[in-house]
Amino acid sequence: MEHSFTHLVDAQRKFFAQGHSRDYNFRRKQLCTLKRMLKKHRAQIIAALAQDLGKPSFEAYISDWYLCMQELNIALTNLHNWIKPKYVSAAPFFLWGSRSCIHAEPYGVSLIIAPWNYPINLIIIPLIHAIAAGNCAILKPSELAPHTASLLTRLIQDYFPADYITVIEGDMHAAQALLQERFDYIFFTGSKRVGPEIMKAAARHLTPLTLELGGKNPCIIDASASVKNVAWRIMWGKFFNAGQNCLAPDYVMIHQSLYQEFVRHAIDALKSMYGSISQESLDYARIVSDTHMERLINLLPHSTIVYGGTYDRASRYFTPTLITDISLGHASMKEEIFGPILPIITYESLDQVKEYVQAHPDPLTLYIFSNHQKAIDYVMRTIRSGSVCINDTLLQATNSYLPFGGIGSSGFGAYHGKKGFDTFSHQRSVIHSSSYTGLLRYPPYRWIHQLLRSFLQVLVK
CA distance 144 to 348: 42
CA distance 448 to 457: 14
Report the Cα 145 to chain-centroid distance in Å: 18
CA distance 9 to 181: 7
Q: Where are the beta strands (DSSP E) in 370-435?
A: 387-390, 404-405, 411-412, 414-415, 425-432
Q: Is 246 a catalytic residue?
A: yes
Region at 6 (left for phi over 0; alpha for psi -120 to 50; beta for the rest): alpha
Q: What sign has the CA pseudo-torsion 319, 324, 327, 333?
A: positive
Buried b (16+ CB within 10 A) or exposed e, 357-392: beeebbbbbbbbbbeeeebbebbeeebebbbebebb
CB neighbourhood size of 402 (10 A): 14
Strand pairing partners for 109?
136
Roughly what angle, to the nearest 10 degrees, separates helices 259-274 and 227-239?
50
With a CB cutoff of 8 Å and minimum separation 6, the contacts of 211 are: 188, 195, 198, 199, 406, 411, 412, 413
Q: For the residues of 206-228, what is the DSSP string, one character each?
A: T--EEEE-----EEEE-TTS-HH
Tell me which residue of 224, 51, 77 sits closest to 148, measured CA to CA.
Answer: 51
Cα first-last separation, the chain: 68
Phi, psi of 240, deg, nearest 5: -60, 130
Q: For the residues of 306-354, what is the DSSP string, one character each?
A: EE---EETTTTEE--EEEES--TTSGGGTS---SSEEEEEEES-HHHHH
3-state SS class at 439 = helix
Residue of 59, 181, 212, 336 with catalytic role: 212
332 and 343 Cβ atoms separated by less than 8 Å: yes
C-alpha dihedral (448, 451, 456, 459), degrees to nearest 10: -130
Residue of 68, 136, 219, 246 with catalytic role: 246
How far CA 136 is from CA of 7, 69, 166, 274, 422, in Å, comes to: 14, 20, 9, 43, 15
Residues belonging to the active site: 212, 246
